[in-house]
C-alpha cells in the first residue's frame, strides 16, 4: 500500500492508494456518504466527478485530481460544517462514479434511480424486475394467451411458474418494457419478432445489482405474445472481483487459463450451449488479463449486444440493424474496425459463422490474442466445428495459432443445509428420488466413493431455493501442442483424448462433474441431466485426483 503526503497544506495528511479491500468497504458503507444527492453536504456536479465524502471523515478522490479546486472546496465546506477529513483514499475516476451510483440507488426504494415521474405501469414493471432479481432469476418469461398470461422465472437453470395474470395486464407490461427500452424498433408490433434492451439510462429503473436486461419478444399462435427477459447482473463491484475458481474452475484449469493469458497471440475458444456461462467466463478472463498486464493494453470486445461491463475493455456494440443480414454485416464490420484500432486483445463475443471465424484467425495470425465463444459440445468438438466452417488445416494444426479450447456447463449446487447424504436413504427412498435406472447405475457412477454423495431436498429450506444453492461451472481446458493437434485433425479422436489426459494434464468435463459429485456438491440426477451418462474414472485416475487434492479416497482403492 503506497502513501502519498498531501501538499495542500492540511497538516501533512497521508493519501492512501486504495486497495480492493478498501474499495469493498467503501461500497459497503455507501449509505454513509454525505456528499451524495440529498446528503448532509451534497456536492456539486463538478465535485462529484472528482471526490466523495463520508460522514466519518473519509474522503475518496480521483488520483488524477488530488489538487483540483473542487476537491479543496468540498474539504473546506466539510471543515466549516464540523467534518474533519482524516483519511483520503486515491482511486480511479470510475470508482468515484460507481460509489455515487451505489449510494444513490440505495435511497430510491431499491429499484434504481430516484425518479418522481415514473408512471404506474412503469412502477409495476420495475417491481416485477425487482422480484425476479430477489429470486436470483436469470430470465423472466411471460406467455400471453387469449385470456390469461403465465409468468415464469428461470432460476438455477430451472423454469419456475410464479403466477397467472390477466392477458390485458400482461400486454400492458410488455408494451411498457418495449417503450421504456433502448436499441429498439421505433414501433412496438404485437405480431412481430422484436428485440430490445433496458439499461441504466432507460426509463425503466433497475435494481442495484442488475446491469441491464435483454428483451426478446415473440408472437404466439392465436394472437398471443411471448417475452423472454434476460437479466444481466453486475457480476462485480469494484473490490468485489469474481475469480475463475469462484465460478467453479478447478485449480488445474486456472493454471491452464493463466498460461493462455500469458501467450502473445493465438485464438482461444470457449464453447458450451446457450446459458452455460460463457459470457461470464470471458468477462472474468479478460478482466484478469487486463490486471496482469498492469492496465497497459488495448482490449476491444465486439458484442451483439454487450452483455456485461468488462473493466478495461472498449466494448464495440452492433447497432442500427433491421435484419439478420444487416446484423451479420455490421458484426463483421465491427471486427474489422477493431483490427484497425491498435488492439492487443480482441474478443468477438461469438464466432457465429465462417466469415467471423476467418476474422478470428486473421487477428491471431497478425499477432493478437483473441478470445471468443462458439457453440460446440466439448473442447475436442471445437476443432470439428472449425473444420465444418472451412478453416484451413494448416491453421488447425498450428499450436501457436489455435492456442486454447475450453468447454463448460453449469450444474446446480445442492444446498449444504438441507441436502441429504445418499447413504442415509433407504433403498426404496433412494430409488424413489433417483429413479430406477440411475439407482441401478449409482455404484458405477460413484466408483466406490458413494459415502459423500448427497441428494437435494425437494422441499428445500429457509437457506435455499427448492434444495439448490446456485450454480457452478464444470469445464475442460485444452492447451494443445503439435502432437495433440495432429492427432485431432487426422480424426484420431481417442488417441488425441488419451494424449491430452496423460501428456497435457487434461481433466474432462465429465471428470470435473464426477469430482463435484463425490465431494457432495451436486445431485447425481441433476448432474446426469446436464452432462449425460458418465461413469467413475478408473482407480488410477482417482488416485491422480486425490494427489491433486480434488478428492479423498480410501487407501485400499
What value does the mean pLDDT take over residues 150-162? 90
- What is the C-alpha separation between 251 and 230, in angstroms, rounded? 30
DSSP one-letter code for 207: -
Per-residue pLDDT, 320: 60
Task: Please report which confidence band the pLDDT of residue 547 belongs to, taking 50, 70 and 90 as the band edges.
Answer: confident
Looking at the structure, give the CATH architecture of the domain made up of residues 120-233: 2-Layer Sandwich (3.30)
Give 430's contacts (C-beta < 8 A, 6+ positions apart): 422, 439, 442, 455
> Where in the sequence of the chain do the CATH 3.40.50.300 domains occur?
244-547
Fold of the 244-547 domain:
Rossmann fold (3.40.50)
Per-residue pLDDT, 502: 93
- β 345-348/369-374 pair status: parallel
CA distances from 79 to 38, 70, 75 (A): 19, 14, 6
- What is the C-alpha separation between 316 and 333, in angstroms, rounded? 11
What value does the mean pLDDT take over residues 383-399? 95
CA distances from 327 to 184, 292, 308, 318, 379 (A): 14, 34, 20, 7, 28
* 121-125, 213-217, 485-489: which is most confident: 485-489
- Centre a 10 Å sphere on the Cβ of residue 469 and count the other Cβ atoms it contains: 23
- Looking up cell 456536492, which residue turns up? 43
- Measured between its terminal Cα atoms, the distance across the chain in Å is 49
Checking if the pLDDT of 111 tops 60, the result is: no
DSSP one-letter code for 43: P
> Where in the sequence of the chain do the CATH 3.30.450.90 domains occur?
120-233
What are phi and psi for residue 530, nearest 5 degrees?
Answer: -90, -40
Taking the model in full, what pTM does it have?
A: 0.79
- What is the C-alpha separation between 395 and 360, in angstroms, rounded? 11
Pick 15 or 57 by higher pLDDT. Answer: 57
What value does the mean pLDDT take over residues 12-18? 76
Task: Please report which confidence band the pLDDT of residue 106 belongs to, taking 50, 70 and 90 as the band edges.
Answer: low
> What is the pLDDT of the chain when averaged over all its residues?
87
Amino acid at each position: 500500500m503506497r502513501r502519498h503526503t498531501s501538499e495542500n497544506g492540511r497538516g501533512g495528511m497521508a493519501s492512501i492508494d486504495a486497495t480492493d479491500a478498501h474499495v469493498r468497504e467503501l461500497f459497503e458503507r455507501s449509505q454513509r456518504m454525505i456528499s451524495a444527492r440529498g446528503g448532509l453536504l451534497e456536492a456539486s456536479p463538478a465535485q462529484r466527478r472528482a471526490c466523495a465524502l463520508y460522514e466519518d471523515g473519509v474522503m475518496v478522490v480521483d488520483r488524477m485530481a488530488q489538487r483540483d479546486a473542487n476537491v479543496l472546496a468540498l474539504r473546506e465546506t466539510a471543515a466549516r460544517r464540523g467534518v474533519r477529513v482524516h483519511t483520503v483514499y486515491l482511486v480511479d475516476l470510475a470508482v468515484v462514479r460507481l460509489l455515487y451510483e451505489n449510494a444513490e440507488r440505495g435511497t430510491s426504494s431499491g429499484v434504481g434511480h430516484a425518479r418522481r415521474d415514473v408512471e404506474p405501469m412503469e412502477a409495476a414493471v420495475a417491481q416485477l424486475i425487482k422480484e425476479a432479481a430477489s429470486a436470483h432469476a436469470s430470465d423472466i418469461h411471460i406467455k400471453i394467451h387469449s385470456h390469461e398470461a403465465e409468468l415464469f422465472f428461470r432460476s438455477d437453470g430451472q423454469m419456475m411458474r410464479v403466477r397467472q395474470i390477466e392477458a390485458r395486464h400482461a400486454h400492458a407490461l410488455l408494451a411498457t418494457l418495449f417503450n421504456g427500452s433502448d436499441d429498439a424498433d421505433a414501433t412496438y408490433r404485437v405480431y412481430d419478432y422484436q428485440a430490445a434492451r433496458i439499461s441504466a439510462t432507460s426509463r425503466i429503473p433497475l435494481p442495484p445489482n442488475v446491469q441491464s436486461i435483454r428483451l426478446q419478444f415473440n408472437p404466439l399462435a392465436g394472437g398471443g405474445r411471448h417475452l423472454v427477459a434476460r437479466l444481466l447482473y453486475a457480476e462485480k463491484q469494484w473490490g468485489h472481483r469474481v475469480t475463475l475458481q469462484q465460478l467453479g474452475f478447478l485449480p488445474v484449469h486456472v493454471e491452464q487459463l493463466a498460461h493462455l493469458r500469458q501467450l502473445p497471440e493465438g485464438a482461444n475458444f470457449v464453447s458450451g450451449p446457450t446459458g452455460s456461462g460463457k459470457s461470464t467466463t470471458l468477462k472474468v478472463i479478460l478482466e484478469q488479463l487486463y490486471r496482469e498486464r498492469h492496465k497497459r493494453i488495448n482490449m476491444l470486445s465486439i458484442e451483439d449486444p454487450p452483455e456485461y461491463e468488462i473493466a478495461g475493455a472498449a466494448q464495440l456494440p452492433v447497432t442500427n440493424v433491421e435484419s439478420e443480414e444487416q446484423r451479420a454485416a455490421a458484426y463483421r464490420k465491427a471486427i474489422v474496425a477493431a483490427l484497425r484500432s491498435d488492439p492487443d486483445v480482441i474478443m468477438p463475443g461469438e464466432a457465429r459463422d465462417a466469415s467471423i471465424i476467418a476474422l478470428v484467425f486473421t487477428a491471431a495470425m497478425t499477432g493478437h490474442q483473441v478470445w471468443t465463444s462458439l457453440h460446440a459440445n466439448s473442447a475436442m468438438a471445437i476443432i470439428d466445428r472449425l473444420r465444418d466452417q472451412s478453416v484451413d488445416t494448416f491453421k488447425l494444426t498450428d499450436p501457436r495459432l489455435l492456442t486454447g479450447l475450453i468447454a463448460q456447463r453449469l450444474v446446480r449446487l445442492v444446498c449444504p443445509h438441507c441436502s441429504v447424504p445418499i447413504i442415509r436413504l433407504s433403498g426404496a427412498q433412494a430409488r424413489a428420488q433417483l429413479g430406477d435406472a440411475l439407482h441401478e447405475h449409482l455404484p458405477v457412477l460413484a466408483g466406490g466413493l458413494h459415502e459423500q454423495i448427497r441428494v437435494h431436498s425437494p422441499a428445500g429450506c429457509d437457506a435455499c431455493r427448492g434444495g439448490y444453492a446456485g450454480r457452478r461451472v464444470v469445464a475442460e481446458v485444452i492447451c494443445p501442442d503439435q502432437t495433440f493437434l495432429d492427432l485431432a485433425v487426422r480424426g484420431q479422436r481417442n488417441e488425441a483424448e488419451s494424449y491430452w489426459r496423460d501428456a497435457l494434464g487434461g481433466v474432462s468435463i465429465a471428470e470435473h462433474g464426477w469430482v463435484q459429485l463425490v465431494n457432495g456438491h451436486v445431485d447425481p440426477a441433476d448432474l446426469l441431466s446436464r452432462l449425460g451418462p458418465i461413469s467413475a474414472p478408473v482407480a488410477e485416475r482417482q488416485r491422480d485426483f486425490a494427489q491433486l487434492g480434488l478428492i479423498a479416497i480410501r487407501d485400499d482403492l
